[in-house]
Amino acid sequence: MKKVYALVLLIAIVGCSKEKKQQIAENLVLKAMTDGQWKVTGFVKGSSNITSSFSSYKFQFKSNLTVDAINNSVVEKTGSWNADPNAQSITSNFVNATDPLIYLNGTWHINQTTWTSVNATQTVGSEVWTLQMDKL
């Protein structure tokens, strides 16, 4: 029975217009990001591994395109986020952020993603920053 549902979904997607396919992709990204909390499990800034700076943080992405940075169970800062499935990127911004949240600001190119993990890079000046986030 699951195969029948998958086939119907595939046919529906193939038959959709470009705009409809874009909306489906955006809805899938939104669902993946907002379903559960995320943790930074890797952050390399140039040649410096600063992952431990994020050890007390969890992140809750919301469907209204805000994201809460939760530090030791308390919302420390609320920022904004947006995903572009076509460009394979995600943009985040925590206004007036300090270390370590300031390092999350900017547009990240998504290198690899699953329903429960994201690996992304951003070039800042001459440094490449690498971010790994995993769903809790």
What torsion do the CA atoms of 27, 133, 47, 88 make, to the nearest 10 degrees? -10
pLDDT given at position 33: 87
Distance separating alpha carbons of residues 136 and 38, to the nearest angstrom: 6
CA distances (Å), origin 119, targets 14, 116, 125, 133:
28, 11, 20, 7
Q: What is the pLDDT of residue 64?
A: 96
Q: CA torsion sign, 22 to 26 to 29 to 35?
A: negative
- pTM here? 0.80
The three-point CA angle 11-13-16 to 5° equals 110
Question: CATH number of 2-135: 1.20.1250.20, 2.40.128.280, 3.40.190.10, 3.40.30.10?
Answer: 2.40.128.280
CA 17 to chain centre: 26
Which pLDDT tens digit goes with each residue over 55-86?
999 999 999 999 999 999 999 999 999 998 88
Q: What mean pLDDT is reported for the chain?
A: 87
Percent of the chain at pLDDT > 90 equals 71
Q: What is the pLDDT of residue 24?
A: 53
Euclidean distance between CA atoms 114 and 30, whole angstroms? 13
Long-range contacts, stretch 27-34, CB < 8 angstroms, 24+ apart: 28/85, 29/83, 29/85, 30/63, 30/83, 32/113, 32/115, 33/61, 33/81, 33/83, 34/61, 34/62, 34/63
pLDDT score for 9: 47
